[in-house]
């Protein structure tokens, strides 16, 4: 979400969050990072079910342990990186120092380098395989790959299988039935359903609609003989203790 939020946007977001127990609020890219972080902290601080992830560019912001500690003290619980849009290689030396601090402070890192891509973004930097070095160097760092790493789903599944603390955000797009079907079935066949974290990608999608789509997943292609996914696996995504998995508390 882009900060500052207009009053109508804040009201709408609060309304849709009523449908979930907890909401991870990801800050969008902003030229004035410190101002955006302050506004994010104030916003999530007014609602106990919201957890703030601040947008950070480790190269431009030059953020270190001291500034990370100060950020955490404001109530920000995690960080979100826009690697391809910020033209930031995930293993840049300053980024690696940032991950070291995040790991020590127990702050998860969300990689939001996924579609839709801007014209000047670097698509290479969106590849989940690039996070393999990060996960190997910092095995305790909890990493979240945004929107299943689209369009590189195979890479995401490989990362989920390989690394204990790598997870994927399942922000499905209900109108795209075939895309939703393929993502969920492939994750089930890969045995990584327990590594998927429910998301809506709000404001692009409504959380309630995404929940209904998942629960009704096996009815998407009811008139076909295509594989289905056990309902308990689908329900577990929605009911999963995301905060516990990410080592977070409200």
CA dist., res. 22 & res. 51, Å (int): 7
Residue 2 within a domain:
no
Output the 3-class SS for the chain.
CCCCCCHHHHHHHHHHHCCCCCEEEECCCCCCHHHHHHHHHHHHHCCCCEEEEEECCCCCCCCCHHHHHHHHHCCCCEEEECCCCCCCCCCCHHHHHHHHHHHHHCCCEEECCCCCCCCCCCHHHHCHHHHHHHHHHCCCCCEEEHHHHCCCHHHHHHHHHHCCCEEEEEECCCCCHHHHHHHHHHHHHCCCHHHEEEECCCCCCCHHHHHHHHHCHHHCCCCCCCCCCCHHHHHHHHHCCHHHHCCCCC
Residue 67 within a domain:
yes
Number of domains in the chain: 1
Residue 182, Ramachandran bin (φ over 0: left; ψ between -120 and 50: alpha; else beta)? alpha
Residue 250 within a domain:
no
Between 100 and 225, name the one with better pLDDT: 100
Residue 133 within a domain:
yes
Look up the domain containing 90 and give its range.
7-245
Task: Please give the mean pLDDT across all residues of the chain.
Answer: 88
Check if the beta carbon of residue 193 is closer than 8 Å to that of residue 172: no
Instruction: Identify the pLDDT of residue 5.
Output: 64
Check if the beta carbon of residue 26 is closer than 8 Å to that of residue 110: yes
Residue 60 within a domain:
yes
Beta bridge partners, 230, equal none
**For position 191, which CATH number holds?**
3.20.20.140
What pLDDT digit, counting tens, does each position of 71-108 carry?
888 889 999 999 999 999 999 999 999 999 999 999 99
Between 83 and 175, name the one with better pLDDT: 83
pLDDT class for 49, splitting at 50, 70, 90? Answer: confident
Instruction: Identify the pLDDT of residue 116.
Output: 64
> What is the arithmetic mean of pLDDT over 194-218?
86
Instruction: Identify the pLDDT of residue 115.
Output: 63
CA dist., res. 115 & res. 151, Å (int): 7
Residue 179 within a domain:
yes
Beta bridge partners, 166, equal 143
């Amino acid at each position: 979400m882009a900060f500052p939020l207009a009053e109508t946007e804040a009201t709408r977001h609060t309304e849709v969050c009523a449908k979930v127990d907890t909401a991870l609020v990801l800050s969008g890219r902003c030229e004035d990072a410190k101002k955006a972080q302050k506004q994010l902290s104030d916003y999530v601080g007014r609602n106990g079910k919201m957890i703030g992830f601040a947008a950070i560019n480790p190269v431009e912001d030059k953020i270190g342990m001291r500034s990370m500690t100060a950020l955490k003290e404001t109530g920000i619980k995690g960080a979100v990186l826009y690697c391809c849009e910020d033209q930031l290689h995930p293993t840049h030396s300053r980024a690696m120092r940032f991950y070291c601090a995040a790991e020590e402070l127990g702050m998860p890192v969300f990689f939001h380098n996924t579609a839709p891509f801007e014209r000047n973004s670097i698509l290479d930097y969106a590849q989940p395989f690039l996070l393999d070095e990060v996960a190997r160097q910092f095995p305790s760092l909890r990493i979240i790959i945004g929107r299943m790493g689209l369009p590189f789903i195979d890479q995401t599944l490989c990362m989920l299988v390989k690394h204990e603390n790598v997870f994927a955000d399942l922000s499905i797009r209900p109108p795209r039935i075939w895309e939703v079907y393929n993502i969920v079935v492939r994750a089930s066949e890969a045995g990584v359903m327990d590594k998927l974290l429910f998301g809506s990608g709000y404001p692009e999608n409504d959380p309630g609609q995404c929940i209904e789509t998942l629960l009704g997943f096996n009815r998407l292609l009811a008139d076909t003989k295509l594989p289905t996914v056990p309902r308990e696996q689908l329900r577990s995504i929605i009911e999963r203790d995301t905060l516990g998995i990410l080592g977070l508390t409200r």
